[in-house]
Structure 1
Amino acid sequence: MNKILRRTPSRGVALLAAVFFPTAVFAKAADQAPTAREHTLKASPSTVVWGYFDGSKSPVLTIEPGDTVNVETMVTGARILRLLGVPERVIRPSMIEMDEKVKQEGSHILVGPIAIRGAEPGDVLEIRIRDMAMAEPWAVNVFTPGGGTLPHLFPYQGGKFVPIDLKRKVATITSGVEVPVRPFFGNIGVGPPVLVGRLSSRPPGYHGGNFDNKELVAGSTLYLPVHVKGGLLSVGDGHAAQGDGEVNGSALEASLRGKLQIFLRKDLKLRWPQAETPTHYITMGLDPDLDEAAKRAVEEMVEYLVSTKGLSREEAYILCSAAVDLRVTQVVDGTKGIHAMLPKSVFVKSAVR
């Protein structure tokens, strides 16, 4: 059985590491759900916060470990959509109501928080992303002065309303240019320790948050350490599609529906969020300097391979160079991200120590 890593925070920036937990470990989570229930939670003024994570917030929903939550998020309020030139016909009354009744304190409308009964600081939430789908047949993209990677070339506001063909699962950028739709939540996080106060929903950290990692689609699993009673999970920042880097400051921002099954793991002791996809192990490095982020992503992968696969440090470093792909997660949230992707297929069962 793989050894579960305990991450110790390094200076300055949270380092995120993704590890694979074998079937025997997953079974412990599955045992929690013999009579699991399904819940529905849609974005409304009574079910969201706008722009932050707060460990002192009261939950809008309390569930049992193993329950599934069908979450519907909202791209943003009506005021911002009108400023972007979004057609009035697609602006729902609930988007107008959001502006009227919820105080905007940041960029992202987050549905939640959701409390998981029995969760205590030191536990881990295992969030299995069962399904993702578009809630509306459109998305928006926007860039603003001073943002993105090319502010010197675009010192003005721009944006676009992007129609989506739900049957073909493509977004039309302009005539003859289509992008495959691959929806995911850019922002999934838990409540930070109460003494920390509110954290902006923009940068990711030890609480999870704004990963903007396009690999976290349906079929992936995310592990978040719990910092407050109940965990207080919130999700939002729906993306219909995004390139690695999110270079102009936003993805194809959209309202999404997601099915999340949430387990409580008292057998895991993690310091940093971790995740996996069906095909890859992924480690992430975060730093204002992209070079440092890359170094930290590789360092985390070496540590993972030594700690869980029995490789020597030299073997791990060689494997990273031979098989790991470094990708730019995002470069537009102040803290930049690099994620290192290692295919699970490199491990032949008989060869693993």
Structure 2
Amino acid sequence: MPETLFKVDLSKSMSEQEIVGHNRWHPDIPAIASVNPGDIFRIECKDWTDGQIKNNDDPNDVRDVDLTVVHVLSGPIHVNGAQPGDILVVDLLDIGALPGDEWGFTGIFAQENGGGFLTDHFPNAAKACWDLQGIYASSRHIPGVRFAGITHPGLIGCAPSQKLLETWNARERALVEKGANDGLPVWKPKMTPYAALPNPENAILGTLKGADFDRVAGEAARTVPPREHGGNCDIKNLSKGSRIYFPVYVDGAKLSMGDIHFSQGDGEISFCGAIEMSGYIDLHVDIIKGGMEKYSMINPIFKPGPVEPHYSEYLIFEGISVDEFTGEQYYLDAHVAYRRACLNAIEYLKKFGFTGEQAYLLLSCAPVEGRISGIVDIPNACCTLALPTSIFEQDILPH
């Protein structure tokens, strides 16, 4: 059994844990432990909302979730010998649910609380709770469906340098200002913010206190998007056996993780769209000295592991870059095209007894395959969503 460096008590919030994690990115958040290259260790994680969502039939907790709290992360872990310019090699040896907490949830966020990919079609909050039995998930809220999960950390990455943090904040602030003042020539759901800028409200910053806490809370980046360091990439194939190569920006790398998913579809379209859960991750770390320059690394690289559900039969839905409301033609817009593929799949599943909300939740968390299938044939991008047919108890093929 690997040594557990970060334990969580599910009855307590992250700020009340014996070892306190964090929910912002900043180079000055202190490490909670140190490891050597070659070490194997275990990290326990709370669900990304810090326990705000309960295993019941009431979606009001999803409707009312406080997004200033998220994502609660376990770490940072200082890796001895890692220096800026190196590559941190992280092997995901094992991932699983915490004993006694073998359940998860998928949610549709209310439009006024950020919404999701299809918030203009599904503006109200909804949720599905899932029972996790070994590698399989089933839900009383979406009956007639059962599938194998591909468990992974939705969020994992190293700390940014101060310079990189300032770059993030400057470019994201410029995006928000441009959107507010001039509008942007891209499609965006109504009421969805352009970016989540630094916000000290409910910041959790490990052991920092006093003036240091106040300074870091005002500067620290939110954990919402993926960035150069990794972060909230939500890549479902980062499962057991995967190896991730992270660029190192600070001494010790300061590796953190959380937001564990039992399963997810490509895109995680409802935003709270994976089967979110608490859990543990067993890791092995190593270092490639000078690796960033040697391999021209800007963003992480990963090699997926051999453990994943193998579905052989799919029903594939196409979408093109034409707005579903106005019929406006967009130029090679993969965002709009993937929306149309998802909406086409949802409308199709409604013919088999599922509500639109059930279908939306299912496409978020089942192991669907999303693709940019064509990005050169002007003016339409073509995106596809491949839905495994054997996850359904009924035959969903056209006849």
Q: TM-score, normalised by structure 1?
A: 0.61
Using the TM superposition, give the Cα deviation of residue 290 of structure 1 relative to its aligned residue in structure 2, in angstroms: 8.4
Q: 1:170 aligns with which of 113, 137, 141?
A: 137
8 Å CA contact 2:76, 2:254 repeated in 1: yes
Instruction: Provide structure 1 residue ranges, at least 5 long, that are not aligned to the other structure.
Output: 1-36, 87-102, 280-288, 295-324, 329-337, 339-353
Identity of aligned residues (%): 29
Q: Which residue of 2 aligns with 1:271?
A: 298
2:137 and 2:110 map into 1 onto residues whose CA distance is 29
Q: Which runs of 5+ in 2 are unaligned?
A: 9-13, 60-65, 166-218, 307-330, 337-368, 373-382, 384-399
Distance in 2 (CA, whole Å) between partners of 1:326 and 1:182 is 15
Q: 1:89-100 alignment to 2 at 5 Å?
A: none
How many angstroms apart in 1 are the aligned matches of 2:78 and 2:267? 32
Map 1:122-271 → 2, pairs under 5 A? 122-135=85-98, 136-146=101-111, 147-166=115-134, 169-172=136-139, 174-195=142-163, 196=165, 197-250=219-272, 251-269=274-292, 270-271=297-298
Q: Verify the 8 A CA contact 2:32 2:77 in the aligned structure 1.
A: yes
C-alpha displacement at 1:69, in angstroms?
1.8
Within 5 A, what are the aligned runs for 1:1-353? 38-43=3-8, 45-75=17-47, 76-81=49-54, 85=58, 105-135=68-98, 136-146=101-111, 147-166=115-134, 169-172=136-139, 174-195=142-163, 196=165, 197-250=219-272, 251-269=274-292, 270-278=297-305, 291=333, 327=371
Cα distance 1:194–1:169, how it changes in 2: closer, same or farther (>3 A)?
same
**Structure richer in strand, relative to its length:** 1
Q: Deviations over 1:266-287 (max 9, x none)?
A: 15123321111247xxxxxxxx
Partners of 1:111 and 1:268 in 2: how far apart?
26
Bigger Rg, structure 1 or 2: 2
1:277-322 superposed Cα distances (whole Å, 9 cap, x missing partner): 247xxxxxxxxx984789xxxxxxxxxxxxxxxxxxxxxxxxxxxx
Relative to structure 1, is the Cα distance of residues 247 and 57 closer, same or farther in structure 2, using a 3 angstrom cutoff?
same
Which residue identity lines up with residue 224 of structure 2 in the other structure? R
Q: Secondary structure at the match of 1:200?
A: coil
Indicate conservation of the 8 Å contact 2:238/2:305, yes or no: no
Quote how far apart the aligned CAs of 1:138 are: 0.3
CA RMSD of aligned residues (A): 3.1
Match of 1:20 in 2: none
| TM, length-normalised to structure 2 | 0.54
Distance 1:117 1:290 in 2: 46
How far residue 52 of structure 1 moved from its aligned partner, in angstroms, is 1.7
Deviation at 1:199, TM superposition (A): 1.9
1:186 is paired with a residue whose SS is strand
Contact 2:29 2:76 in 1 (8 A): yes
